[in-house]
Chains A and B, each alone.
Chain A
């Protein structure tokens, strides 16, 4: 294995370990969140974002790492996001958690994996069509939220922290 592959593997093992310990890999947790009954996956995800966004911002401002925004392509994000959301509810997993669920013995996740491989193959065939239609509507490019709304990134981070901490207290109060 190359260095790149070993590094990816080690990172993935730690990530998978944390996803499993946080109990976010299960169909019931994923669907529970979408039914607004069990917010475990959002507690995990938002905690990761709160910690990660501070480090990423410090390190990118210090020139140690580079940010890599994905394009704000309107059709892609809105239509693709809607399709993903609907499929996520039916399948009960997202791409990363399906593989983790297999690891903790939930072998029915294999069907989700097969479906996603099929979806990827179909997308590759339909790509020229999407490129000339949905993806061609309007693209604002690879931009961040702070420069778009004209605020300092640290103000955005502070507001995000405040909102999410309030949300966490509400989750606990409602025992979600």
Chain B
């Protein structure tokens, strides 16, 4: 089943995914041993901490008084560095096989909605805000619920992932269903 490399020389997603599974296991053990607490892969809480750090530069007291920022603790923690690491790892991987490409507009988007960067930017900002509101409400994203929650057989992960997928499929068909291929 782990057949054919992807068209541009990437790895089989089955192999890359299985290795990510091993990473999750190793990471759970190492964080437990070294930090005294089992950490699981995740990403969305970092956006809260980053937003808090940015807001602190002009409204420090407001951030300190905010209940949610206090609950999630605005600081550069393990997961914050993990997210920075994702950037660096992706950069290294794409440089290693020349798949790095400067791209100002996604091809699927351009086929459907044209080459306007402004239009794409507006949609990404609106979509991003909505997605993050949802991820924080659900307490996780496809990393925290999808990967880590499923690996631990959490009840919430099964429901969260089903909702992510159902609404993703629905809205994607409404948005991009016509026009492309």
Chain B: minimal CB distance from A176 (Å)? 11
Q: Are A85 and B165 within 8 A (Cβ)?
A: yes
Number of residues in B with C-beta < 8 Å to the partner? 136
Q: Are B11 and A22 within 8 A (Cβ)?
A: yes
What CA separation (Å) do A157 and B160 show in the bound complex?
A: 19
Which residues of B have CB within 8 Å of A10? 85
Q: Are B106 and A28 within 8 A (Cβ)?
A: yes
Q: Are B89 and A19 within 8 A (Cβ)?
A: yes
Which residues of B have CB within 8 Å of A83? 130-131, 133-134, 137, 167
Asked whether any CB of chain B lies closer than 8 Å to the CB of A162, the reply is no
What CA separation (Å) do A82 and B47 show in the bound complex?
A: 19
What CA separation (Å) do A43 and B1 show in the bound complex?
A: 11
Number of inter-chain CB pairs below 8 Å: 528
Q: B14, B108, B134: which contacts A47 (Cβ < 8 A)?
A: B14
Which residues of A have CB within 8 Å of B124? 90-92, 108-109, 111-112, 114-115
Q: Are A84 and B20 within 8 A (Cβ)?
A: no
Q: Are A12 and B84 within 8 A (Cβ)?
A: yes
| Consensus secondary structure, chain A interface | helix
Contact string against A for B residues 60-100, beta-carbon threshold 8 Å, 1 for contact and 0 otherwise: 00000011110100001111111111111111111001011
Which residues of A have CB within 8 Å of B103? 105-108
With A59-B25, A70-B156 in contact, do A15 and B172 touch (Cβ < 8 Å)?
no
Which residues of B have CB within 8 Å of A48? 17-18, 20-21, 24, 147, 151
Chain B: minimal CB distance from A82 (Å)? 5
Contact string against B for A residues 120-137, beta-carbon threshold 8 Å, 1 for contact and 0 otherwise: 111111111010001100
Q: Are B169 and A140 within 8 A (Cβ)?
A: no
Which residues of B have CB within 8 Å of A64? 29, 32
Number of residues in A with C-beta < 8 Å to the partner? 129
Closest to B80 in A: A8
Contact string against B for A residues 77-98, beta-carbon threshold 8 Å, 1 for contact and 0 otherwise: 1111111111111111111101
Chain B: minimal CB distance from A174 (Å)? 13
With A23-B8, A23-B10, A104-B90 in contact, do A95 and B43 touch (Cβ < 8 Å)?
yes
Q: Are B142 and A94 within 8 A (Cβ)?
A: yes
Which residues of B have CB within 8 Å of A33? 168
For the complex of A and B, the 10 pairs showing the least CB-CB separation, nearest first, are A12-B85, A115-B128, A16-B89, A81-B163, A85-B167, A87-B131, A90-B127, A51-B21, A119-B132, A83-B134
Interface residues of B (CB under 8 A from A): 1, 3, 6, 8, 10-25, 27-32, 34-35, 37-38, 40-41, 43-44, 46-48, 50-52, 54-55, 66-69, 71, 76-94, 97, 99-109, 117, 120-121, 123-147, 149-173, 175-177, 180-181
Contacts A/B (CB < 8 Å), 20 sampled: A19-B20, A19-B89, A21-B16, A26-B106, A28-B107, A33-B168, A41-B13, A52-B151, A53-B151, A66-B38, A84-B163, A85-B166, A89-B167, A103-B90, A104-B90, A108-B117, A115-B125, A115-B127, A116-B132, A146-B153
Instruction: Beyond A32-B108, A77-B159, list 7 extra A-B contacts (CB 8 Å).
Output: A16-B85, A40-B6, A44-B13, A94-B131, A102-B90, A115-B124, A172-B1
